[in-house]
Amino acid sequence: MKSTPNKPPILKELDLLEERLTASGVNDRQQIDFCWFIRCACNRPQVYVGKQSFELVAAFLDGYHYALERQQKSRSWGLREFNEWLGPRLKHSTSLHWRQMMMKSFPDDTEAFAQLPQLYEEFLLHQANTLADKELGKKPEIKRDTLYTYDEVATLTSVGRRTIERAVENGNLKTDHMGTEPRICGAAILQWLDAGGKTGRSRRDLVEEE
């Protein structure tokens, strides 16, 4: 029988976090530990950087992430990957650093501290679901309100990136711009697929490509 009632509150909180993540398919100890580390740094910034500053905590986390990256380069859950996921999530260009995205979306440090652990946990769950879909040979669901990169659309629709580019160039697939980076809304992808996935290529184009 577990003696959880005697555990300090902080350890109970860690147990709950681990339960949530493992129940959703996040079983890598390093992922869970990094998620917990982010939560601790946001809950007690003075302990880690000496003051209540989200910008300093973000820089501290970047440094910690860099050290992890040198030890284990092949990771799908680092802050670089988080940066790519966070852009569409907060409707910012991924050319921005994740710290800048957070500070633009949550100018108040207290709110930014509260949001970052939740967003990173959401990111880990997204990564776990994506990996599970790949392992099962399934394509992730196309969500109408989500903005996708060209490469993501190519994966979702099982075509090459050039096919997506042609469809955009010929006006068959509409794009939205996020900064300088074109994105394609899920609703536009579904509409394009319903219309037969036209690219605007003529029979002559196809002959010339062969």
| Domain architecture of the chain: domains with CATH | 9-135 (no CATH), 147-209 (1.10.1660)
Q: Is the pLDDT higher at 45 or at 150? A: 45
The string of pLDDT tens digits covering residues 139-188 is 678 888 888 888 889 888 888 888 898 889 988 898 887 666 789 999 99
Structure confidence at residue 204 as a pLDDT band (50, 70, 90):
very low
For the chain, helix, strand, coil in percent to 5 are 65, 5, 30
Percent of the chain with pLDDT over 70: 83
**CA-CA-CA-CA torsion for 202, 205, 207, 209, nearest 10 degrees?**
-140
Neighbours of 66 (CB within 10 A): 11
**Pair of tokens at residue 61:** 């986390």
